[in-house]
Amino acid sequence: MTRSHARFATVMALTLTTATALSACQEASGPTVPRSSSSSATSSAGTAPGAQAPAPQRPMADLSRYVGQQVSWSEDTCPSSMRVVTALSDKTTCARITAPKDYFDPGKGDITLMVARTKSDNPDARVLFTNPGGPGAPAARFSAVVAKLSPLAQTHDVIGVDPRGTGDSTSVSCDPPRTGVDDNRNLTPAQVTTVQSRVKKSVTDCVAKHGGLLPFLTSDNTARDHDLVRRILGAGTVDYYGVSAGTWLGSRYATLFPKQVGRFVLDSNTEFTAPFAKTFGNQPMAFQRRWDQQFLPWAARHDATYGLGTDNRAVNGVYEKVRKAAGEGRLDVFTPSLIDNVLASEMYGDPGFVSAATLLGLLDKATDGDPDALRQAKRSLMSSGGDGYTDYRESTTFMAVTCNDTPWNKQPLTYAANAFNLGKKYPLTGYDVVENRCAYWPYTAPQTKVDVSKAPPMMMVQTELDPATSYENAMSAHRASPSTRMLVVDNQGDHGAVVGSKNACVTTAAYDFLTKGKLIAQDSVCPAVPLPDDSQVFEVGSKAQGPQLPTADGYARQKPNLAQQVIDLLLRILAEATRPQR
């Protein structure tokens, strides 16, 4: 996350609620003129009355001085946050590249992009861009992890560009609002007012601090940054692996630069053909589904290990018990909202089930008066690590990009009303969408109507029970993009289904496309692999329809010859990188 001390801090800021429609054109004008936050009327809890009028199309400025810049690649240039990764390979180097803040008016000044490259030994190597999502997660270190945990470095120079605003590119960092709320389930009207006032002030303070750059932090500009790097590298086309909000970015690159698209794999998909709000609005449902239909039954099956009960109701009862104790101040640093956030965070990947069950067991014992269990639970929070940055650059970039890319409802009370309604149905995370900083955002950005039809066919990969980017959203984007091919992973819920996965059916299909150009012939299905400590896969919901791909591993698993703790570290970096931030 964006804080060195907490993965558990406001994870559920991911669950931004409903908002509005994107509109218009492909190569639109640059950002934006400030506007009053009260100038946009709204029609419902999160939907503006209509899309913006298309901005007039105009070409980008002459970029020859940027394309012709001298670039020096060095391991010493790589940020400290990725030194553990680069130490594993002498093929990963980094460079700082200058880009215009405004691609239509470079006279407004320049920014710096941090670019990492893991060079292939293959003389015919292709170029692969990578992005872990967020929006706002750094991509430089992610690219090195992708190169290490996959066969892609055998066929590609693997590239990661830290998005403008975050990582070691020119960054912005604003303090988050200090709401003073420990439990979003039981907010009084006075508390809601206080929360909204503090959120509004945090946005105002951020604009005063970084107003010269914030309106230029858009997905379109990040896509343009990637194409500038492509041109500097001398690549005619690029391949791409993007996860989560990286699918949002990839679809925009394919819209803006269709002739430069090679082999694109979009993993764990946003509904990139619709407003951001469609994806974020479904998160409370998707997180609750993962919790109710997979985690609770799994924990009940392993009662002998975790002692949480032998059925769903019993396990959920332990959660409610410790949550209540936290609200009474009996669990030290643990508050109800913190417990919700930690448990929701662990739903991103199957290994998180073990962490979630272990934490619940410790807190259950602590509730019954066991001080050792409470100490262990607190240590588990501190051991989750951080992102290497001591400020809020990731969460600030998340805010800027989501608010700039999508016109949002400007009626703050609608978010609170929506949260109370969602919370009743989806209590794990539904109550956490009570505020939205985009309600106070003073900028408006040109909107891009995503259309990937002019690009070559792309591959989408989606697990059925993904909590952060729901199956429903992914399928909507797929239906709106007929040229894409969809690979559904039945009965699986990992957010991030390819790199680092133990599912050979998925990895073989994705790597066949990226390394050999062999795209699945039609929409297809891969079966899940068992959850931790399970010996079989348990059916959840309806059976995914479509031809099933082979489950044999098409690639010899060349695990790095390293200690297991290093492999675990890489997987943790990968998991953290693909979690959307705010």
Q: Return the DSSP state at 154.
A: G
- Does the structure show a pLDDT above 80 at 479? yes
Q: Are 22 and 50 in contact (CB under 8 A)?
A: no
Query: What is the per-residue pLDDT for 576?
Result: 58
Span 273-288, mean pLDDT? 94
Residue 417: helix, strand or coil by DSSP? helix
Give yes or no for a contact between 115 and 161, defined as CB atoms under 8 angstroms apart: yes
Highest-confidence segment of 170-174, 442-446, 539-543: 170-174
The percentage of residues in the chain with a pLDDT greater than 70, rounded to a whole number, is 83
The string of DSSP codes covering 272-311 is TTS-HHHHHHTHHHHHHHHIIIIIHHHHHHTHHHH-S-SS
For 320-364, what is each residue's pLDDT tens digit? 999 999 999 999 999 999 999 999 999 999 999 999 999 999 999
CA distances to 148, 357, 563, 571 from 566, rounded to whole Å, are 11, 24, 6, 9
| Structural contact between residues 394 and 137, judged by C-beta atoms closer than 8 angstroms | yes
35-49, 139-153, 196-210, 463-477 — which is least confidently predicted?
Answer: 35-49
The whole-chain average pLDDT of the chain stands at: 86
pLDDT above 90 as % of the chain? 74
pLDDT at 426 over 70: yes
Q: Mean pLDDT throughout 177-184?
A: 91
Return the sign of the alpha-carbon dihedral for residues 184, 344, 471, 23: positive
Work out the angle at residue 243's Cα, subtended by the Cα atoms of residues 81 and 45, and round it to the nearest 5 degrees.
110
Q: Which of 122-131, 274-283, 537-546, 564-573 has the lowest mean pLDDT?
A: 564-573
* pLDDT grade for 83, boundaries at 50, 70 and 90: confident
Give, for 189, the enclosing helix (H) or strand (E).
helix 189-210
Angle at 371 between CA 369 and CA 377, to 5 degrees: 110
- The neighbouring-strand residues paired with 127 are 157
Q: Quick one: CATH architecture of 82-172+223-275+452-556?
A: 3-Layer(aba) Sandwich (3.40)
Q: Is the model more confident about 145 or about 55?
A: 145
528: nearest Cα among 552, 557, 559, 502? 502
Pairing of strands 126-131, 92-100: unpaired
Comparing 34-43, 89-98, 411-420, 427-436, which segment has the lowest mean pLDDT?
34-43
If residue 266 lies in a helix (H) or strand (E), which one and from where to where? strand 261-269
Q: Give the per-residue pLDDT at 141.
A: 92
Mean pLDDT of 34-54: 34
Higher-scoring residue by pLDDT: 566, 75: 75
Asked if pLDDT for residue 85 goes beyond 70, the answer is no
* 281-310 confidence digits (pLDDT tens): 999 999 999 999 999 999 999 999 999 999
Instruction: Give tens-digit pLDDT for 242-272.
Output: 999 999 999 999 999 999 999 999 999 999 9
What are the boundaries of each domain within the chain? 82-172+223-275+452-556, 173-212+283-405+408-444
- pLDDT score of 447: 76
CA distances in angstroms from 358 to 31, 186, 254, listed in the order given: 47, 27, 43
Give CA–CA dist 185/208, Å, rounded: 32
What pLDDT score was predicted for residue 575? Answer: 59
pLDDT band at 407 (very low <50, low <70, confident <90, very high): confident
